[in-house]
Structure 1
Amino acid sequence: MAHPSFAVTVDLVVLTVRTDELCVLLVRRGVEPFAGQDALPGGFVRPDEDLGTAAARELAEETGLVVGHLEQLASYGAPDRDPRQRVVTVAHLALVPDQPVPTAGSDAAEARWVPVHEARGLAFDHDRVLADGVERARAKLEYTALGTAFCPAEFTVAQLRRVYEVVWGRALDPRNFHRKVTGTPDLLAATGRRRPGTAAAPRSSSAAGPPTSCTRRCCAPTPRAGRPAASSAPGTARRRRPARRAGPRRRRPAGPGRRGTRRSAGW
């Protein structure tokens, strides 16, 4: 039985934090289909390439950037996702510190960093791919040390906290965050230097190890449906149980037709 032929491509979701915004690397397509429309960097896999090699090559050709680590995000294979032919794409995710201005090349007419909230109406199914990449990045900050991937080789705890705030979209308590990250083994290493122009303690300037060096949960787990987010995330305050009044508990008299009432154990 003959099998139908199809092509394989790679697409890249490259995220960084620039000017206190979560940004994605986009290219403006210079060829059809979708000429003149924004898209994620990517292209066809050559017969002699594996997926990771193809992703790194396409990123360098279309934007001039090189990243240290790419991870596979997901595969997308809707029959009509590419008007040229049946194409299955394997998306890759990269989280990087602030990078230089990209330089367009190959079939990309322009390359630039765009705030994630402004990246809409992308070519192919790249809106969905981008949304999945942002969701993966936010989720991985919950249980890994991936936040340090957005930082340069040396950074302060305050800079790391700002990364979490930008990616998660909410403010964190500075003291609680500092206590969490500095108390997590193998997450940060003190450099013994201070950031110029500050009176911060030397240990606040830290160097990141590899993302896999964090061996315990330093952030909140993903909350279950219908429940509030856990209070163990860096910078979040734990809600305290109200203090009970001293003395015996008063019981309400049973009403007509009732055998009695009980107080709720909630708070």
Structure 2
Amino acid sequence: MSGHPPFAVTVDLAVFTIRDGVFSVLLVERGVEPFAGSWALPGGFVEVAEDAETAAWRELVEETGVERFEGHLEQLRTYSAPDRDPRMRVVSVAHVAFAPDLPEPTAGSDAANARWWSVDDVLDGGPDAPALAFDHEQILRDARERIRAKLEYTTLAREFVTEPFTLPELRRVYTAVWGSPPDLGNFRRKVLGTDGFVVPTDAHGVSTAGGRPALLYRRGRASEIQPPMLRTTTRGSD
């Protein structure tokens, strides 16, 4: 309608994985203004004939070379502060994804570089951690919390261990995402007490500490943990 200022809709993606035991996020170095040279979440403008999810996948490929993958993807929330983009009024529909075995990215379109970063380094002031463009620090914080919460009430963590796996291997997934290990007793009760969370095999892993070899498991059919396995700062040993 006439009389309204320019207005656009964008998508931003917080794409997470675990690399070498580190909870990691995919960032791009912007090659164009605004914020040229700054790091940001991959994303861009929604085209007229697209829905937000289609635009999210397209921008991911164009900016990082990472093709559509199997894994958890959901809409995070909408970010609409009037001054969040210096170009015009821009509303972003942010998405969050969490999937194993994601590849090394390659920069494309308006990205000068693309790489995986430690989530905690970026958000908690790690060495050489970049300041993020736009309001992407807030989006990333919200996305990290969403994934941390997902691990409390779903069995999503199982996707990040190779079958067959031990319970210590599964527990390390929670440690990477939560930033501290779950209480050992509570962890074992939830995993072994939730029907279909894991299925025991008849095999044992190799003992690395001279103790009793750990039993090996496979993924079960359960998708939810009820009651949830709540985060705690209590530390236990494997």
Bin for the TM-score computed over the shorter chain: 0.7 to 0.9
Judged with a 3 Å threshold, the aligned counterparts in structure 2 of structure 1 residues 156 and 97 are, in CA distance, closer, same or farther, namely: farther
Tell me which residue corresponds to 2:126. Answer: none
What is the Cα deviation at residue 158 of structure 1?
2.1
Give identity over the alignment, percent: 54
Tell me which residue corresponds to 2:119. Answer: 116
Asked if structure 1 preserves the Cα contact closer than 8 Å seen for 2:198 and 2:218, the reply is: yes
What is the Cα deviation at residue 29 of structure 1?
0.8
CA distance in 2, matches of 1:111, 1:193: 41
Asked if structure 2 preserves the Cα contact closer than 8 Å seen for 1:148 and 1:208, the reply is: no
Q: TM-score, normalised by structure 2?
A: 0.81
Tell me which residue corresponds to 1:8. Answer: 9
Q: Specify every segment of 5 or more residues in structure 2 that has no aligned partner in the other structure, as ranges.
A: 123-129
Q: TM-score, normalised by structure 1?
A: 0.73
Tell me which residue corresponds to 1:258. Answer: none
What is the Cα deviation at residue 219 of structure 1?
0.5
What is the Cα deviation at residue 46 of structure 1?
0.9
Q: Give the letter aligned to residue 176 of structure 2.
A: V
Asked if structure 2 preserves the Cα contact closer than 8 Å seen for 1:26 and 1:111, the reply is: yes
CA distance in 2, matches of 1:128, 1:74: 11
* Cα RMSD (Å): 2.8
CA distance in 2, matches of 1:153, 1:36: 41
Matched, 1:90 2:93: yes
Greater mean alpha carbon deviation, residues 28-37 or residues 168-177:
168-177
Rg larger in structure: 1
Corresponding pairs, count: 223
Tell me which residue corresponds to 1:53. Answer: 54
Asked if structure 2 preserves the Cα contact closer than 8 Å seen for 1:186 and 1:214, the reply is: no
Give the alignment of 1:169-184 within 5 angstroms.
169-174=179-184, 176-184=186-194
Tell me which residue corresponds to 1:64. Answer: 65
Q: Specify every segment of 5 or more residues in structure 1 that has no aligned partner in the other structure, as ranges.
A: 223-228, 237-267
Q: Which runs of 4+ in 1 moved over 6 A?
A: none
Structure with greater strand share of residues: 2
Matched, 1:105 2:108: yes
CA distance in 2, matches of 1:74, 1:15: 17
Asked if structure 1 preserves the Cα contact closer than 8 Å seen for 2:30 and 2:110, the reply is: yes
Tell me which residue corresponds to 1:213. Answer: 223
